[in-house]
Amino acid sequence: MSAHPKDTAPAALDRREFLKASALAGGGLVIGISLAGCGKPADLAKAAGGQPVAWLKIGGDNSITILVDKSEMGQGVYTALPMLIAEELDVPLAAVKVVAAPAGAAYANIFLGTQITGGSTSVREGWQKLRAAGAQARAMLLGAAADEWKVDVGSLKTDAGVVTGPNGQKRTFGELAEAAAKRPLPKDAKPKDASAYKLVGKATPRVDTPSKLDGSAEFGIDVKLPGMKYAALAQSPVLGGKLKSVDSAAAEKLPGVVKVVTTSTGVAVVADHYWQAHVARDALKLSWDEGPNAKLDSAAIRAGLKAAKGTAQSARKDGDAAKALKAAKKKVEASYELPLLAHATMEPMNCTAVVTADRCELYVPTQIQQIAQATAAAAAGLKPEQVSVTTTLLGGGFGRRLEVDFIPAAVEAAKAVGAPVKLIWTREDDMTHDAYRPPAHDSGSAGFDASGALQAVHIQLTSPSVTARMFPPVVEKAVDPFAVEAAANFLYDVPNVSVDYLRHEIGINVGYWRSVSHSLNCFVVESFMDECAHAAGKDPFEFRRALLGKQPRAKRVLEEAAARAGWGKAPAGHHQGIAVMEGYGTYLAQVAEISVEQGKLKVHRIFCAVDCGQRVNPLIVDQQLTGGMVFGLSAALWGEITLAGGKVQQKNFDEYRVVRMNQMPELGVHVLDSSEAPGGIGEPAVALVAPAIANAWFAATGKRVRALPFSASGIA
Amino acid sequence: MITLKVNGKTLETDAAPDTPLLWVLRDHLGLTGTKFGCGKSLCGACTVHVDGSATRSCVTEVSNVVGKDIRTIEGLSSDRSHPVQKAWLELDVPQCGYCQSGQIMAASALLAQNPSPSDADIDSAMAGNICRCGTYPRIRAAIHRAAELMKTGGAS
Ligand code: FES
Ligand code: FES
């Protein structure tokens, strides 16, 4: 999701109300949150289980703990977020212990309104609240020392968790924590100036790396509880189908089977060990009511999107594009098609639950804790506050774990057997029961005047809306902001621009997929602008550059990418394509270099230039950029989920191909130094890969690829 | 009861003989470092060493590895001192980390057989290990680095 602070930060966010401090039971300082209109002061002292609701705890024992309210799914939040606190407190990163925050309104994402790891918001949000929390804590600790020594705060120094006074007096943070907690919350504690950064901006090794080298990192699928049973789930093969009947007699006789439980989302076989549950699942005799999707197939979905009629919503309107198009001397028109995509996280969906009469414990790799909590509560017949959510490490998220469809069956099975149950989906379950990236049928129209100047661009987008299902209030009055990214913010200086969005549902659930609608719309807009460049007889780089005069950051990354990738200087037989985008407050441009080998596409190199504002940890920024490019490349080359008779046809990595080591092009990244506020980095690089390659293919062959993936055109 | 030799220890399990080694390791023996990714020998997440060869434990029936030397990520070294682990740390290879046990086991098996792999050798040895986070460039660099460490005495 693309959440810009300006779009979605709650207006009621009041800095003075934002952070609150309280004493930690046992002596220490807790910096917590109270969001105006959201958290109540009482939340601060107590949450479920009597734990303080906090982000930052400084203990009398000198421990510094940050409760990270973002899920670690590879994007580095367990490193980058504590870095913000460590910076403000002048302590080494290793001194800050990371604990996953529980579910609770106090941990709601200030850009998105509920507890969510998504929208490339983690660092952008932490940049506001964690730096503020760190600065507050520091001011209170210094205030306590100044009072004790009766000296001016300005005469104090901090280093490595020790405050030093003007006469060499020393106190550790732990020694000061209790007195600090009694002080009023400082109103004017400002985060450090960038010139004083010791940690922020430095490539810093990830704190989670060691545990990921010896098998000790605990993902959801690794949770172990005493007496735990395992479950496999049989779900309707047709998406949206319902169970008609189940004969479990044969399955129940198999070794290890504890119980067969009919749940709200399918039939769960619970056994002593996972493989026993898996084998017994195959012995179930199931019949399904296939429901309204029994005849749904990909051709019908494509045709439906193409023929969709209705009132489109305007996402952008500058001037009068319709009128300017009528008056145009030369026109360019093109349509584009994009497929459904699976997330295919490496760790398949799973959830572990324990249910007693009045409690439910959930251990789950999730990106959306409060909704997971509410979902589990409903499944268990409890209230949300009776459900604890422990977020494990996530073996990939990519938006898949914003869904909670794998939670109810685990809870219902655990309740039915009265023991902890770990439910594990197979890869096939995962791939055939995803909430897929929306497909789209989009088009562009452009008009040039007699002098050859581009006067009008109209982009028409048609796709189903994820937000309408997940967050209906957001789309009640406004166009779905997560359907029109990379189009509504059309960067080029054209006097008449309109972007319209027509919501067209397709009968199955669609979901947020890494970079969300950027992955759709960047392909459309950047392919179309390339078509316009060609129509204008201009070099695609120069054409874009000339239209980016009012977008200095976009222009600069475009120029950097072109210069560093050697635009126009490809070796003989190689061809280049370019694309530029703004997403999540980050500006990117990519140059792809390809050749045609026996009629097929070969990608040699992709180079990405980026301005993501202030970097917190450049090492993680680079990881997210290259990782995003690989993710985008898999989708561009082969990514496509198809349906026949309402069933997803791709079941595993043989049918849903992803890039492997031997298929990797060379990747290059250059990130510009910038003092702008941090932009999001986890997602945007995904979106430029397909258009950059498609434009290179045109440069090589004179043929436009207007439908993804490239394999559908027989070239990959 | 089936008796297995895992990470140098003799362990017993009551798993059925046709149970995939993966699930015996994970559920019966508690060695959850070895991961489930596809169950069909398509992703490499479940890679372990059987008598030193990289083996997909998801498609290996436990009865077929009785008496063989099974090594999992937990037993690659006792203290992350294997050159592959050292190189992985130095280059900060993992992102989500889920595929990395399999990557490390595949890489260490490669290096045991071929101490100086070329890029093409790495391609063919590692093509079976998917990383959805896209850590491939660092995996490649880390394998070369591990090869160097092995030569300069970083051996385990
Ligand atoms: S789980 Fe064995 S290869 Fe994928
Ligand atoms: S590190 Fe996430 S799948 Fe490889």
Q: Is residue A431 part of a domain?
A: no
Residue A597 scores a pLDDT above 80: yes
Domain count within chain A: 3
Per-residue pLDDT of B71-130, as tens digits, reads 999 999 999 999 999 999 999 999 999 999 999 999 999 999 999 999 999 999 999 999
A399 and A466 within one domain: no
Q: Are residues A65 and A125 in the same domain?
A: yes
B139 ligand 2 Cβ < 6 A: no
The reply to whether A162 falls in a domain is yes
A444 and A585 in a common domain: yes
Q: Give the pLDDT band (50/70/90) at residue A52.
A: very low
pLDDT computed for residue B65 by the predictor: 98
Between CA B120 and CA A248 the distance in angstroms is 51
The backbone torsions φ and ψ at residue A679, rounded to the nearest 5 degrees and listed phi first, read -100, 165
User: Which ligand 2 atom lies nearest to the CA of residue A396?
Assistant: 2
Q: Of A204, A237, A261, at which residue does a domain stop?
A: A204
Nearest ligand by distance to the CA of A343: 2
Looking at the fold, whether A108 and A34 belong to one and the same domain comes out as yes
Q: What is the pLDDT of residue A26?
A: 61
| Structure confidence at residue A113 (pLDDT) | 82
- Check whether A475 has a pLDDT greater than 60: yes
- Give A189's pLDDT tier (boundaries 50, 70, 90): confident
Domain boundary among A399, A424, A449: A424
- The pLDDT of A568-592, averaged and rounded, is 98
Question: What is the pLDDT, as a whole number, of residue A78?
Answer: 95
Q: Per the domain annotation, does A212 fall within a domain?
A: no
The predicted pLDDT at position B142 comes to 98
CA A315 to chain centre: 22
Tell whether A256 and A358 lie within a shared domain.
yes
Q: Residue A33: what pLDDT?
A: 53
Strand order in the sheet with A575-583: A575-583, A586-597, A600-611, A666-671
Give mean pLDDT, residues A225-252: 98
CA angle A68/A72/A75 to nearest 5° reads 115
Cβ-defined contact of A273 to B23 (cutoff 8 Å): yes
Residue range A330-380, pLDDT digits in tens:
999 999 999 999 999 999 999 999 999 999 999 999 999 999 999 999 999
- A665 and A542 assigned to the same domain: yes
Boundaries of domain holding A230: 220-291+349-424
Is residue A187 over pLDDT 90?
no
**Do residues A481 and A474 lie in contact, with contact meaning Cβ atoms separated by under 8 Å?**
yes
| Same domain? A160 vs A236 | no
pLDDT recorded at residue A580: 98
Q: In this structure, is residue A543 part of a structural domain?
A: yes
Q: What percent of chain A has pLDDT over 70?
A: 93
Residue A705 shares a structural domain with residue A608: yes
Q: Is residue A429 part of a domain?
A: no
Find out whether B103 and B131 touch, Cβ atoms under 8 Å: yes
User: For residues A698 and A8, which has the higher predicted lDDT (pLDDT)?
Assistant: A698
Average pLDDT, chain A: 92
- For residue A3, name the pLDDT band (cuts at 50, 70, 90): very low
Q: Do the chains contact at A212 and B129, CB–CB below 8 Å? A: no
- Residues A555 and A634 occupy one common structural domain: yes
Is the pLDDT reported for residue B27 higher than 70?
A: yes
Report the gap between the CA of B67 and the closest CA in chain A (Å).
Answer: 22
A10 pLDDT above the threshold of 70? no
Segment A431-444 mean pLDDT: 98
Residue B2 tokens, joined: 């089936």
Q: How far is A207 from chain B (nearest CA, A)?
A: 10
Q: Is the confidence at residue A13, as pLDDT, over 60?
A: no
**Residues of chain A contacting residue B73, judged by C-beta atoms under 8 Å apart:** 214-215
Domain CATH number, residue A179: 3.30.365.10
Whether A16 has a pLDDT exceeding 50, the answer reads no
> In this structure, are A621 and A475 located in the same domain?
yes
Q: Compute the distance from residue A49 Cα to the ligand 2 centre, in Å.
A: 34
- On whether residue A697 sits in a domain, the answer given is yes
Q: How far apart are CA A418 and CA A412, in angstroms?
A: 10
Q: Does B150 have pLDDT greater than 90? A: yes
pLDDT, one tens digit per residue, over A120-178 is 898 988 898 889 889 989 999 999 999 999 999 999 999 999 999 999 999 999 999 98
Are A61 and A13 within one domain? yes
pLDDT of residue A11: 30
Is the CB of residue A186 less than 8 Å from the CB of residue A88?
Answer: no
User: Distance, CA B37 to ligand 1 centroid (Å)?
Assistant: 5
Mean pLDDT of A191-207: 95
Do A412 and A263 contact (CB within 8 A), yes or no?
yes
Those residues whose C-beta lies under 8 Å from the C-beta of residue A91, and which sit 6 or more positions away, are A64, A160, A161, A173
Helices (H), A25-160: 41-45, 77-89, 122-149
CA distance A400 to chain B (A): 13
CA–CA distances in Å: residue A124 to residues A81, A258, A528: 10, 47, 31
* Confidence (pLDDT) at A19: 59
Mean pLDDT for the stretch of residues A593-610: 98
* Other CB atoms within 10 Å distance of the CB of residue A298: 18
Percent of chain A residues past pLDDT 90, beyond the cut = 84
Query: Is 60 exceeded by the pLDDT of residue A47?
Result: no
What pLDDT score was predicted for residue A56? 87
Asked if B27 lies within 8 A of A213 by C-beta distance, the reply is no
> Is residue A592 domain-resident?
yes
* A505-520: pLDDT as tens digits: 999 999 999 999 999 9
CA-to-CA dists, residue B104 to A82, A404, B23, B72, angstroms: 28, 31, 19, 10
**Domain endpoint, select from A159, A180, A204:** A204
pLDDT at residue A698 greater than cutoff 50: yes
Same domain, A287 and A155: no
Give the tens place of pLDDT for each residue, A69-125.
Answer: 999 999 999 999 999 999 999 999 999 999 999 998 878 888 888 889 998 898 988
Q: Span A448-454, mean pLDDT?
A: 97
Q: Which of A38-47, A241-250, B29-38, B85-94 has the lowest mean pLDDT?
A: A38-47
Band of the pLDDT at A25, cuts 50, 70, 90? low
Q: Which of A91, A151, A81, A73 is nearest to A122 (CA)?
A: A81
A345/B contact by beta carbon, under 8 A: yes
Q: Is residue A117 part of a domain?
A: yes
